[in-house]
A and B are shown apart, each in its own frame.
Chain A
């Protein structure tokens, strides 16, 4: 794989391409690289959590966890494990110097109030205009659970999604309109997948990078019109 370096990214025009699809860790590395230095970031449960493994100290990123903390450190191990210090996935974590704790209403005010720069979430589906579906399959026998998904989708300045582009059955998760119950309307700004990075918004879908496929091959997999990203 070849993820562009920061230098390359800054002079990026149109589509970047690599020869192979990205694995989960490569994708996490790519998201980590794209987070602006000094950002306040919330990483969702599951695949997005991997991003924390690739944040560089010099990026000076502050991680928020919705159960009431800024300055969350890596997952706790051994003697560090403390039942009173967990993340939103209820995994024991650590605190970094400069961390702060606050109650739940303050924590979601941080989110809803537009103070978080980025949240990174998983998804079942994302629509061409950035609608997100990631909380409920809508199956009649499913027990619904939403947690903070709707608050995160609505509150952060930028919502990045990490997902595989295709379901196990080969169906695109980037869709014209979500068939699963939605989490938020028009909230997703970028979609990081194993096959491409998409920019979503009111003007439709742009492709910023492809991994192991051409734009034409990608278009054949995705049922929404794609165009190469504007030079940035």
Chain B
């Protein structure tokens, strides 16, 4: 069931304590800042968050971590020059980290959305990150069994939605959006623009609306409108 929702607050209101939440974005590109701010305001806590990173600076996911709302991060690259809120929580033992090679993270998310129960991949074979995991030699290569990552909710950002929830993205802001949309039970999308059904060429749609549950329009930030157009 697809809903068009007026505010980001209403869009995230159903997120419960203890949920697993996928958050799109690679660094700041594609990060749904307004939805994350709304999640911060709505008070949900004990969250497991899936994102490539663990927040940057003093915005978005970094604030969610700072406020102690994230009990576990599943990500590939938590440590950055400005990931101080994650760093502090991690060093204090107040946040759990599941570190996943980036391609395995993406494929585990994709597998969840595609109904795959797991897969063997050469990435990580023989490394610390494969310790304790099942391995096999396949096609002459050592491979590691990886399991899907499912989520209760995905928060993602796209450029444009049409009346059926079909989505297109913008440049490298696409990143994890399409696979997270498919992997979560409930996918909430913030877009810059909503066009009528039929307003997007079916040939260019990246995420079909079947994966989308809630859409909220967030006006492009000052200076962004011209750029987006």
Q: Which residues in A have some Cβ–Cβ distance to B below 8 Å?
A: 65-69, 82-87, 90, 95, 101-105, 107-109, 111-112, 136, 141, 143-151, 154-155, 181-185
Expressed in whole angstroms, the minimum distance between the Cβ of A190 and any Cβ of chain B is 20
Interface size on B, residues (CB 8 A): 50
Are A145 and B99 in touch, CB under 8 angstroms?
A: yes
Q: How far is the CA of A101 from the CA of B121 in the complex (A)?
A: 24
A103 neighbours in B (Cβ, 8 Å): 106, 174-179, 206
Known contacts A108-B102, A148-B76, A182 near B179 by CB under 8 Å: no
Q: How far is the CA of A65 from the CA of B179 in the complex (A)?
A: 18
Q: How far is the CA of A147 from the CA of B102 in the complex (A)?
A: 5
Q: List 26 A-B contacts (CB under 8 A).
A: A68-B172, A84-B170, A85-B29, A87-B172, A101-B169, A104-B26, A104-B179, A105-B109, A107-B106, A108-B103, A112-B121, A136-B128, A143-B91, A144-B97, A144-B99, A145-B99, A146-B99, A148-B101, A150-B104, A150-B124, A151-B102, A154-B123, A155-B103, A184-B125, A184-B126, A185-B142
Known contacts A108-B106, A151-B101, A146 near B77 by CB under 8 Å: yes
Q: Is B147 an interface residue (CB 8 A)?
A: no
The residues in B between 89 and 117 inclusive whose CB is less than 8 angstroms from any CB of A are 90-91, 97, 99-107, 109-110
Question: Could you say which of B29, B52, B105, B123 has the most chain A C-beta atoms within 10 Å of its C-beta?
Answer: B123
Are B172 and A185 in touch, CB under 8 angstroms?
A: no
Q: How far is the CA of A96 from the CA of B126 in the complex (A)?
A: 38
Known contacts A83-B29, A107-B106, A154 near B125 by CB under 8 Å: yes
Q: How far is the CA of A137 from the CA of B81 in the complex (A)?
A: 17
Known contacts A83-B29, A108-B106, A150 near B129 by CB under 8 Å: yes
Q: How far is the CA of A147 from the CA of B79 in the complex (A)?
A: 10
Contact of B171 among A95, A150, A184 (CB under 8 A): A95
Contact of A68 among B76, B80, B175 (CB under 8 A): B175
Q: How far is the CA of A136 from the CA of B97 in the complex (A)?
A: 15
B122 closest partner in A (C-beta): A154
A86 neighbours in B (Cβ, 8 Å): 26-27, 29, 172
Known contacts A104-B179, A145-B77, A155 near B123 by CB under 8 Å: yes
Contact of A84 among B30, B99, B105, B176 (CB under 8 A): B30
The residues in B between 131 and 172 inclusive whose CB is less than 8 angstroms from any CB of A are 142, 169-172
A141 neighbours in B (Cβ, 8 Å): 91
Are B171 and A84 in touch, CB under 8 angstroms?
A: yes
A147 closest partner in B (C-beta): B77
Are A90 and B102 in touch, CB under 8 angstroms?
A: no
Q: How far is the CA of A68 from the CA of B103 in the complex (A)?
A: 11
Expressed in whole angstroms, the minimum distance between the Cβ of B182 and any Cβ of chain A is 10
A144 neighbours in B (Cβ, 8 Å): 78-79, 97, 99
Expressed in whole angstroms, the minimum distance between the Cβ of A133 and any Cβ of chain B is 10
Contact of A67 among B29, B97, B124, B127 (CB under 8 A): B29
Q: How far is the CA of A5 from the CA of B177 in the complex (A)?
A: 45
